[in-house]
Protein backbone atom coordinates (compact mmCIF):
# COMPACT_ATOMS: atom_id res chain seq x y z
CA UNK A 1 0.00 0.00 0.00
CA UNK A 2 1.32 3.43 -0.93
CA UNK A 3 0.98 6.14 1.68
CA UNK A 4 -0.40 9.37 0.30
CA UNK A 5 -0.07 12.58 2.24
CA UNK A 6 -2.88 15.05 1.87
CA UNK A 7 -2.21 18.72 1.31
CA UNK A 8 -2.12 20.72 4.51
CA UNK A 9 -5.25 22.71 3.66
CA UNK A 10 -7.31 19.52 3.34
CA UNK A 11 -6.02 18.28 6.69
CA UNK A 12 -6.90 21.61 8.31
CA UNK A 13 -10.33 21.59 6.70
CA UNK A 14 -11.04 18.10 8.01
CA UNK A 15 -9.86 19.01 11.49
CA UNK A 16 -12.22 22.00 11.48
CA UNK A 17 -15.09 19.59 10.97
CA UNK A 18 -14.11 17.66 14.14
CA UNK A 19 -13.25 14.61 12.07
CA UNK A 20 -9.70 13.41 11.62
CA UNK A 21 -8.33 11.67 8.56
CA UNK A 22 -8.31 8.23 10.20
CA UNK A 23 -11.99 8.54 11.08
CA UNK A 24 -12.82 9.63 7.53
CA UNK A 25 -10.89 6.66 6.18
CA UNK A 26 -12.68 4.24 8.53
CA UNK A 27 -16.10 5.57 7.52
CA UNK A 28 -15.16 5.47 3.83
CA UNK A 29 -14.07 1.85 4.15
CA UNK A 30 -17.28 0.95 5.96
CA UNK A 31 -19.28 2.55 3.16
CA UNK A 32 -17.33 0.74 0.44
CA UNK A 33 -19.47 -2.40 0.76
CA UNK A 34 -22.85 -2.62 -0.97
CA UNK A 35 -24.34 -4.70 1.84
CA UNK A 36 -23.47 -2.01 4.38
CA UNK A 37 -25.03 0.64 2.17
CA UNK A 38 -28.17 -1.52 1.99
CA UNK A 39 -28.19 -1.83 5.78
CA UNK A 40 -27.93 1.95 6.19
CA UNK A 41 -30.76 2.41 3.69
CA UNK A 42 -32.95 0.13 5.81
CA UNK A 43 -32.19 2.26 8.87
CA UNK A 44 -33.12 5.37 6.92
CA UNK A 45 -36.45 3.80 5.83
CA UNK A 46 -37.26 2.69 9.37
CA UNK A 47 -36.32 6.09 10.90
CA UNK A 48 -35.88 4.34 14.23
CA UNK A 49 -33.85 1.53 15.71
CA UNK A 50 -33.46 -1.97 14.32
CA UNK A 51 -32.37 -5.20 15.95
CA UNK A 52 -29.91 -7.61 14.36
CA UNK A 53 -32.70 -10.13 13.69
CA UNK A 54 -34.74 -7.45 11.89
CA UNK A 55 -31.80 -6.52 9.67
CA UNK A 56 -31.26 -10.20 9.00
CA UNK A 57 -34.91 -10.55 7.89
CA UNK A 58 -34.65 -7.53 5.57
CA UNK A 59 -31.53 -8.68 3.72
CA UNK A 60 -30.68 -11.89 1.92
CA UNK A 61 -27.57 -12.55 4.03
CA UNK A 62 -26.59 -15.18 6.57
CA UNK A 63 -26.78 -14.07 10.21
CA UNK A 64 -22.96 -14.09 10.70
CA UNK A 65 -22.59 -11.81 7.65
CA UNK A 66 -25.18 -9.39 9.00
CA UNK A 67 -23.41 -9.32 12.36
CA UNK A 68 -20.08 -8.67 10.65
CA UNK A 69 -21.48 -5.78 8.61
CA UNK A 70 -23.22 -4.28 11.65
CA UNK A 71 -19.94 -4.46 13.58
CA UNK A 72 -18.11 -2.65 10.79
CA UNK A 73 -20.73 0.11 10.81
CA UNK A 74 -20.56 0.38 14.62
CA UNK A 75 -16.74 0.49 14.54
CA UNK A 76 -16.98 3.35 12.03
CA UNK A 77 -19.47 5.02 14.40
CA UNK A 78 -22.15 5.16 11.70
CA UNK A 79 -24.40 3.06 13.93
CA UNK A 80 -24.87 3.24 17.67
CA UNK A 81 -25.51 0.00 19.52
CA UNK A 82 -27.25 -0.62 22.82
CA UNK A 83 -27.56 -4.00 24.47
CA UNK A 84 -31.06 -4.88 25.67
CA UNK A 85 -31.00 -8.23 27.42
CA UNK A 86 -29.91 -10.78 24.83
CA UNK A 87 -30.58 -8.43 21.92
CA UNK A 88 -28.66 -5.48 20.54
CA UNK A 89 -30.54 -2.44 19.31
CA UNK A 90 -28.88 -0.38 16.54
CA UNK A 91 -29.58 3.24 15.64
CA UNK A 92 -28.25 5.45 12.86
CA UNK A 93 -25.69 7.95 14.20
CA UNK A 94 -26.91 11.09 12.43
CA UNK A 95 -24.23 13.28 13.99
CA UNK A 96 -21.30 11.29 12.57
CA UNK A 97 -23.05 10.86 9.24
CA UNK A 98 -23.65 14.62 8.99
CA UNK A 99 -20.01 15.40 9.94
CA UNK A 100 -18.77 13.00 7.26
CA UNK A 101 -21.06 14.48 4.61
CA UNK A 102 -19.96 17.99 5.59
CA UNK A 103 -16.31 17.00 5.21
CA UNK A 104 -16.99 15.63 1.74
CA UNK A 105 -18.99 18.71 0.76
CA UNK A 106 -16.15 20.96 1.92
CA UNK A 107 -13.77 19.14 -0.43
CA UNK A 108 -15.77 20.09 -3.51
CA UNK A 109 -15.72 23.85 -2.88
DSSP labels, 42-107: HHHHHTS-EEHHHHHHHSSS-HHHHHHHHHHHHHTTSEEEEEETTEEEEEE-HHHHHHHHHHHHHH
Cβ neighbours, 10 Å, residue 34: 8
Strands 79-84 and 87-92: antiparallel
Q: Which tens digits make up the pLDDT trace of 31-65?
A: 999 999 999 999 988 888 898 888 888 888 899 99
Q: How many residues does the chain have?
A: 109
Give residue 20's pLDDT. 83
- How far is residue 39's CA from residue 79's CA, in Å, rounded to a whole number? 10
Q: Which tens digits make up the pLDDT trace of 61-91?
A: 899 999 999 999 999 999 999 998 988 999 9
CATH topology of domain 22-108: Arc Repressor Mutant, subunit A (1.10.10)
pLDDT classification of 3: cutoffs 50, 70, 90: low
Give residue 7's pLDDT. 57
Give residue 1's pLDDT. 47
Domain boundaries, the chain: 22-108
- Cβ distance 89 to 5 under 8 Å? no
Amino acid sequence: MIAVSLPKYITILMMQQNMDIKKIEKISRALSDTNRIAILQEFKKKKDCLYCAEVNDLLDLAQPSVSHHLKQLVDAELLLSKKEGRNIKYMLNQQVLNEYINCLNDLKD
